[in-house]
Amino acid sequence: MSSAISARVQALGLALEPAGSPAANYVSRVQVGDLLFISGQVPRKGDQAVWLGRVGDTLTEDEGRQAARQAALGVLAHLADAVGDDLARVLRVVRLGVFVACTPEFNRQSAVADGASDLMVEVLGEAGRHARTAVGVASLPRGVAVEVEAIIQIES
């Protein structure tokens, strides 16, 4: 099994894009001690936001899961950048926060968030298991369906 985060992602038939730049007056990630805080990542391909809409309206639950998976790739891109793509430096995904743009009636935010959670475990193994919050919201930046943020313990 590879010790590079990008290789583990590639083995799943996916690819890490370069870690994106912040869209406003904040930074994409901050390290405090051995904790890496990664700002909310939206599903994107290049500079283009993808998976636009609201779950329960223009998107299905399964499409929401795919959007969460795509947003989680952004988290992994920032993680790989921060640790020099070295999986051995990743000690634990401590927490994921998953925000789901959805209708008021939609109540399966947790199922949508599984798209991000599952990817963390697929790529990082046991270190990818985490605490999580999944919250439904009226809208998200750029009109995306999902945003994912993370706190990850890394070896300094």
Sheet of 131-137: strands edge to edge? Answer: 29-32, 35-41, 146-154, 90-101, 131-137
Residues 57-62: what's their mean pLDDT? 98
Position 64 pLDDT exceeds 60: yes
In this structure, what is the dihedral angle of CA atoms 22, 45, 42, 66, given to the nearest 10 degrees?
Answer: -170
Convert the pLDDT of each residue in 16-53 to its tens digit.
Answer: 988 878 878 999 999 999 999 999 999 999 889 999 99
Position 55 pLDDT exceeds 80: yes
Convert the pLDDT of each residue in 101-110 to its tens digit.
Answer: 999 999 999 9
Report the share of the chain in percent with pLDDT over 70: 99
- State the pLDDT at residue 96: 98
Residues 106-126: what's their mean pLDDT? 98
- State the pLDDT at residue 77: 97
- Say how many domains are in the chain: 1
Q: What is the DSSP letter of 12?
A: T
- State the pLDDT at residue 47: 84
Look up the CATH number of the domain holding residue 85.
3.30.1330.40
Q: Is 22 exposed, middle or buried (0-12, 13-18, 19+ CB in 10 A)?
A: exposed
> What integer best gives the mean pLDDT of the chain?
96
Position 3 pLDDT exceeds 80: yes
Q: Which domain holds residue 61?
A: 5-17+26-154
